[in-house]
Amino acid sequence: MNIFTITHFFNKAKDGGSESPVDAYFLIEMKGLFSIAILKFNKGRRESFHTHAFSAFTWFIKGNLEEEKFDGTKIKYTKNLIPKLTKKDNNHRVKALEDSWCLTIRGPWNEFWTEDDATHTITLTNHRKIVKRVARA
């Protein structure tokens, strides 16, 4: 990946694939360097837990969100001037209790990230291409 390639510039896209209830309004995305986007978490959630290819700072602007970590811990978020740091290895899922808005600044992308469904851990790469699928014990 060329670090200077602009993936998104002033456009709207689904954030996290077609099944995601999150709409991203990208100001700019250069996966090798950084991304800046406004996220709309539409009410509800995607069932799968996931990590990210990037770490991010996120400011909650409006609404109510609940983060559920893979270990079962739940944290609620509302409007706040202090950003939340989401690290690449944070395996979680987010539920919007109502339509909610955030501003996010993301760091450079790693090559891989994961999603967990009911029975498997799936390793993904660019364009959500599946690299590996491993049954969980």
Which pLDDT score is estimated for 46? 86
Q: What is the pLDDT of residues 22-58, one digit of tens each?
A: 999 999 999 999 999 999 999 999 889 999 999 999 9
Across 88-115, average pLDDT: 97
Choose among 55, 58, 57: nearest CA to 109: 55
Which pLDDT score is estimated for 1? 61
Which pLDDT score is estimated for 71? 93
CA–CA dist 86, 106 (Å, integer)? 9
Across 107-124, average pLDDT: 94
Across 101-127, average pLDDT: 94
Continuous segment of H or E residues that includes residue 23: strand 22-30
Q: Return the beta strands (E) in 31-128 as ranges.
A: 34-41, 49-50, 56-62, 65-69, 74-77, 84-86, 92-96, 100-106, 113-116, 120-125
Which pLDDT score is estimated for 101? 98
pLDDT band at residue 92 using 50, 70 and 90 as cut-offs: very high
All domains in the chain, ordered by first residue: 8-111 (2.60.120.10)
